[in-house]
Amino acid sequence: MSAAHDSARERLSQLLTEHPHDARFAAAILQDLHEEQTAFSPYRGTSKVAIFGSARAETESPEAAMAAETGRCFVRAGWMVTTGGGPGIMAAATQGAGTDQAFAIDINLPFEYDTAGFPPGDPKVVHSEFFFTRKLAFFRQSDAFVVFPGGLGTMDELFELLTLMQTGRTRMAPVVLAEPAGGRYWAAWLDFIDRLAAESYISRDDLAFVEVAHDATTVVALVTSFWSNLRSFRVVDDHAVFSVERVPPAVAHRLDARASATSAVPYELQMGVTASIEAASSPTQPGGQTTLNVAVPFDGRQWSLLRRVITELNAW
């Protein structure tokens, strides 16, 4: 066992010794985490999209129809779909994906849930005791997020997701706000966000985390375009380093000319940031291939800047 395992055991033992009244609480949290890992671990190599939205949406509503088509389109693209396991948008997205290609992370409530059509005992259904462990499961197990119109629960999920991305506490991922053409839900939401920015409660730059789509095809295109050039990114000291598949032709030519050198090529991004681009050998690449790395200065605070960088890199 690793040092992390030993530390976790020590912390849990300390909690149960010093605060025995929290034993049931701790056990329920651990049960939620265990159910999550048991359900998702067999599908670790498959991309998954979380679809949020109202439990109250009518089955025949345009929003439900779009959610169902969105689920179908993601499955055709090789993805699996995760919802909250309830009715409305959740049931529609699950129906579109098919329960064989879907997960549900439901919450133990006396209403609304266990209606998404999963067969009894489906191992891809996670039963959560707490809202916070439920959201943690969504954020840890999803590679993208699609948010349909919804109520307080949907807003809770969206705002916490944006807070985590804004502070770098969860991995960067595409977030698409979806509704049928002609809908005003997200336009009104963006008006509210603009007002918050105008009054300096938030930074307008944080809108870089979200995109809006009015049909299922566009939803999937926006999600998959997030990785059209980007392969991974990490923060190293005072830089963010993006691994990409391609660079602009002029940069590629200069890198070829410096094949025997170790110096990087400077490149001015459209947002006025100077990136440093280099071709580095990677032991994980087959056949001795190199990895193209793009490094930009990063102060550890402006995570929305990194989202804008990803958008520009994917346009190369």
Q: What is the pLDDT of residues 187-241, one digit of tens each?
A: 999 999 999 999 999 999 999 999 999 999 999 999 999 999 999 999 999 999 9
Whether the predicted pLDDT of 271 surpasses 70: yes
With a pLDDT cut of 70, the percent of the chain lying above it is 94
Whether the predicted pLDDT of 283 surpasses 90: no
- Please give the pLDDT value at position 264: 87
Residue 88 has which token pair? 């409305």
Does pTM top 0.75 for this prediction? Answer: yes
- Please give the pLDDT value at position 261: 54
With a pLDDT cut of 90, the percent of the chain lying above it is 84
Candidates 145, 202, 211; CA nearest to 173 is: 145
- Please give the pLDDT value at position 287: 53
What's the pLDDT tens digit per position in 139-187?
Answer: 999 999 999 999 999 999 999 999 999 999 999 999 999 999 999 999 9
* Sequence ranges of the domains in the chain: 3-225, 230-314
- Please give the pLDDT value at position 111: 65
Q: What average pLDDT does the segment 56-63 reach?
A: 96
Phi, psi of 220 (to 5 degrees): -65, -40
Least confident span in 3-7, 126-130, 310-314: 3-7
Angle formed by the axes of helices 23-40 and 131-141, nearest 10°: 30
Among 3.40.50.180, 1.10.3720.10, 3.40.50.450, 3.30.1330.20, what is the CATH number of 3-225?
A: 3.40.50.450
Whether the predicted pLDDT of 286 surpasses 60: no
Whether the predicted pLDDT of 110 surpasses 90: no
Q: What average pLDDT does the segment 84-112 reach?
A: 92
Whether the predicted pLDDT of 284 surpasses 80: no
26 pLDDT tier (thresholds 50, 70, 90): very high
- Please give the pLDDT value at position 67: 99
pLDDT, the chain, mean: 93
